Amino acid sequence: MQVNDYTPLYTQLGFTISNDALMTEAFTHRSVLNEKQRSSRKHNERLEFLGDAVLELVTTEFLYHRYPDAPEGEMTNYRSSVVNRLHLAAVARTLGLGDYLILSRGERASGGAEKDYLLANVVEAFIGAIYLSKGMMIARDFIHQWVLSNIDDIIDQGLHIDAKSHFQELAQAHVSVTPHYEVLQEEGLDHEKIFTVGAYLNEQQVGTGTGNSKKTAQISAAEDALTRRAHWLEG
């Protein structure tokens, strides 16, 4: 079994989590259980569920106080922009969380430690572990520092606008094309499928996204297309 040394991560964060079993759970992907066929080992989906709720609450509270004149719908868009898959994956890469992921050999060989959806999920699971081990105050500080620190830049760049709508508006305005989406790959069992979707302008693929539904994969693909917009706007 993979044993992680979290010292570099703790040094970066400025605090430690002494519960080794909790940390192992936070970084263990379900694929390990399938490979080892050891149901007694815990994977991180329960912590991910908890961390998602903590992240949403802290983000909502932050936005409520930070933007006192913003209406509900606008704050919802702000929140979506910082809890979406691409942004959380970027947070994971900044912290190097992918280095600690415990994956099956097959998942690791397929580049699992760099997949946006796995990285985003592990951020949420790690937040869940912080909450259980250190309490809400430390979890809130972590989210403020690592997830919400660039909220002003996100809003200034218009990244808080619904990704599919924003992508469509730009594409229609600049290249006179309405985007469409195609499923490129389906992985996993029926109850835990992961979809890979391409975003297209005519025949040109301009973005790729993954998700546990076609809808979330399309949103991820639109977000990816927006990060690459200089390429297709000029192309």
Q: Is 124 a catalytic residue?
A: yes
Rounded-to-integer distance, Cα 227 and Cα 36, Å: 38
Question: Choosing from 52, 116, 223, 224, which is the catalytic residue?
Answer: 52
Question: Choosing from 25, 48, 116, 124, which is the catalytic residue?
Answer: 124
| Residue 104: C-alpha distances to residues 30, 170, 174, 189, 209 (Å) | 8, 40, 44, 16, 22
Which DSSP helix (H) or strand (E) runs through 180?
Answer: strand 180-187
Nearest to 211, CA basis, from 130, 145, 115, 131: 115
Q: Is 169 a catalytic residue?
A: no
Point out which residues pair with 180 in neighbouring strands. 200
Burial classification of residue 230, based on how many CB atoms lie within 10 Å of its CB (0-12 exposed, 13-18 middle, 19 or more buried): exposed
| Residue 146: C-alpha distances to residues 13, 114, 168 (Å) | 10, 19, 30
Rounded-to-integer distance, Cα 192 and Cα 19, Å: 29
Helices (H), the chain: 7-13, 20-27, 30-36, 45-66, 72-83, 85-95, 105-109, 116-134, 136-146, 151-156, 163-174, 214-227, 229-234
The set of catalytic residues is 52, 124
